[in-house]
Amino acid sequence: MSATVIQFNPAPGISSNQRPKVDLNDLLTRHDVPGPRYTSYPTIDQCTESVGVGALEDALKGRCLGGLRRPMSLYVHVPFCESVCYYCACNKVITRKHDRVSHYLNCLEHEAMLIAKKAAGNLTPVTQFHMGGGTPTFLNDKELLGLVQGLKMVFPFAANAEMSIEVDPRTVDENRLLSLRSIGFNRISFGVQDFNSLVQKAVHREQSFESVESLVKAARRLGFESINVDLIYGLPKQNPERFAETLDQLVSLSPDRVALYGYAHLPERFKPQRRIHSEDLPDAAGRVALLAQAIERMQGAGYDYIGMDHFAKPQDPLAVAKRQGRLHRNFQGYTTQPDADLIGLGVSAISKVGSVMVQNTRELDAYEDALSRGHLALFRGHELTRDDIIRYSVIMGLLCQGSVQFQDYSQSHWIEFESYFEKELAQLRQFSEQGLLDMDEQGIEVTPLGWFFARPIAMVFDHYLHQRSSGHSKVL
């Protein structure tokens, strides 16, 4: 693929001869450094065992103090999968024994009731519900229906709540999609990763394009409001020719949204990845070329770049929200929903209520044992400090709105923005010189090209980054 070259318009304080034509591939390579995805700030790895049930209970009881009525988001983690995908870094349990499901569902029910009890009447309607995994469709229709109905008996659901589920295309057919729709799911995400048979075989996730195409068409006929497809770049056996075919097939499906994730090869941390041969992986330059190729193809097909690794059709609510400055971000990624308190249920699930963030244990046996004894299965948490809250608002402002107006933040947080972030503003000058953002005495504005580098720009404001610089995969 030929290099993508961009000519920048000069920003305030930068003359045109300081902004030469820039090769997009070169920029992607330069900024491909380890960093968080910022579904929260601080990130979950800042949690410690010293913050737990007591902090969460206080946060739940204080949800509606002073008349505040924050909406609620609900996440349920289903860890079970029938087979292992070699690339996967999710918290999962590989099993073909469905008899484990019943006990797990009982634990989810107990956990939901414990949360509701500790909230002491301070529950507000759930406006966003998401099931992830693992493979949520490991549960059969009866189990899924019982789970959703049980949750609705514990938590109030808004009439227009977004209800989404992640689906492994190999586990469903049109009748199954009809069942999901009748249960109440109105959004669906198909995990495809790649359509090439050699790549699929290398990661142990084989499925035909024709089968996925049939499911996407069925989902559209059944009235799912949003259809998302997940792809991964940087997988073994991927090259520009094979990936171009996958991108063409993806575009032909015409999903409403596309999530394009970079594969992080960390075999020392994730045992299944040890089955992937390192020599089959594209090198750093090859990964960047695949990403640039995808960006060019998706935008050429008319998709808007939302941020980080998401694309959407221009009429999709996510794209509309970005244009109108209403984009938000939470543990499920980009959303049109306003900032909500998140309740996470299930093994490894994360909750964030007010300024308290907690995570359940990642071990299934420990999770089930705690709930069986009538206790929440928390193992670590974090209470946001004033500095955390200030930095959170700046990072989310950059990732969601693409701008930070100094006066707004100074007034809302009682700080002098320029002096509070003097060091960070100096570090941002390199991005300005590269045409990735515009800076003046009023604020910071991410340029259209800069959206592709939102994560490294936001990382400048991360106070904890130096403490965990080796704990994350690369941002591109």
Q: Binding-site residues, please?
A: 75, 81, 85, 87-89, 133-135, 166, 193, 205, 230, 264, 350
Binding residues for S-adenosyl-L-methionine: 75, 87-89, 133-135, 166, 193, 205, 230, 264, 350
**Per the structure block, which two tokens stand in for 425?**
């503003």
**Cα–Cα distance measured from residue 350 to residue 347, given in angstroms and rounded to the nearest whole number:** 9
Binding residues for [4Fe-4S] cluster: 81, 85, 88
Backbone angles phi, psi at 312, to 5 degrees: -150, 155
**Per the structure block, which two tokens stand in for 450?**
């800069």
Q: Work out the number of other CB atoms within 10 angstroms of the CB of residue 79.
A: 25
